[in-house]
Amino acid sequence: MSLRDNVHQLVNEHMKMGPDGKAHMVPALLDELREAVTPGHAGQAGGSDGGPPIPINPNAVDLLAKIENGAKGDYWEMLGVAWPGTLVDLLLQLPSGAPNAEWEAYLEHVLLDWIDEIVALLWPVKPRRKLFGKTCPACGLSLHGDERAVCLTLGCWDSTGELARIGEWDIRCEGCEAAWSGDQVAWLLRALDTPKPEMALVS
């Protein structure tokens, strides 16, 4: 995505693919993040019906401060002047305010990192399952790296955190980055001597 696309996701309503496979209009990511730092608005109903308020998410507070301080710091480094306005207004002017292609590429990367951090904080994804003791058929290893991490991992969760259909699973080697999906997963699980796909969920 471009710098302009990243700014759009952060500050404007935008289209996002939902669990139903259809595109839906969703709020700006910064608005979603601010909801998490507002008492009674921690991403779910509550706080306004007379019950106990939902506490502020301290990680969201830290992330929002990191983004605001980072954006203003980069603006100072880029143009040598302090930004006097709001975070949203600062982000909106970045696509036209970057003085050269190098700065534009840098800002594109920084904003994409912020998008990833917001998404990971507000909608955490269940971790991939490790296929312990299984050897990657591509690189021939079961462990990789100095920390001897498990090579093969299984992605078996959908976007809501529920177990996905087997046809939507994927297997990836974290060492050599080989990957298998769709019908290849069932074949590979059999080749790895995993009698049933469900057994791969035990870790």
DSSP 74-87: HHHHHHSS---S-H
Same domain, 35 and 80: yes
pLDDT band for 44, please (50, 70, 90 cuts): very low
Same domain, 102 and 21: yes
Neighbours of 168 (CB within 10 A): 14
Same domain, 82 and 151: no
Chain CA centroid to CA 18, Å: 15
Query: Between residues 90 and 189, which one has the greater pLDDT?
Result: 90
Same domain, 14 and 111: yes
Write out the DSSP string of 111-162: HHHHHHHHHHHHSPPPPPEE-TTPPPTTT--SEETTTTEESEEEE-B-TTSS
Length of the chain: 203
Same domain, 108 and 192: no
Same domain, 116 and 134: no
Q: Is the pLDDT of residue 200 over 70?
A: no
Render pLDDT for 70-121 as a digit per residue (tens, 0 to 9).
999 999 999 999 999 999 999 999 999 899 999 999 999 999 999 999 988 9
Same domain, 164 and 139: yes
Q: What is the mean pLDDT of the chain?
A: 85
- SS3 assignment, position 179: strand
Query: Between residues 179 and 166, which one has the greater pLDDT?
Result: 179
Q: Which domain holds residue 195?
A: 129-201
Write out the DSSP string of 10-55: HHS-EEEE-TTSSEEEE--HHHHHHHHTSTT-SSSS-SSSSSPPPP
Question: Residue 138 contacts by C-beta under 8 Å, 6 or more apart in sequence?
Answer: 173, 176, 178
Indicate the residue among 122, 144, 162 that finishes a domain: 122
Determine the pLDDT at residue 19.
Answer: 58
Report helix angle 29-36 to 3-11, nearest 10: 40
Amino acid present at 35: E
Determine the pLDDT at residue 37.
Answer: 85
Integer Cα distance of 148 and 175 in angstroms:
10
Q: How many domains does the chain have?
A: 2
Tokens of 69: 């301080």
Burial of 118 (0-12, 13-18, 19+ CB in 10 A): buried
Q: Is the pLDDT of residue 199 over 70?
A: no
Please tell me which of 39-48, 121-130, 141-150 the model is most confident about, judged by mean pLDDT: 141-150
Indicate the residue among 122, 142, 159 that finishes a domain: 122
Indicate the residue among 88, 122, 156 that finishes a domain: 122
Same domain, 97 and 162: no
Among residues 174, 151, 159, 12, the alpha carbon closest in space to that of 89 is found at 12
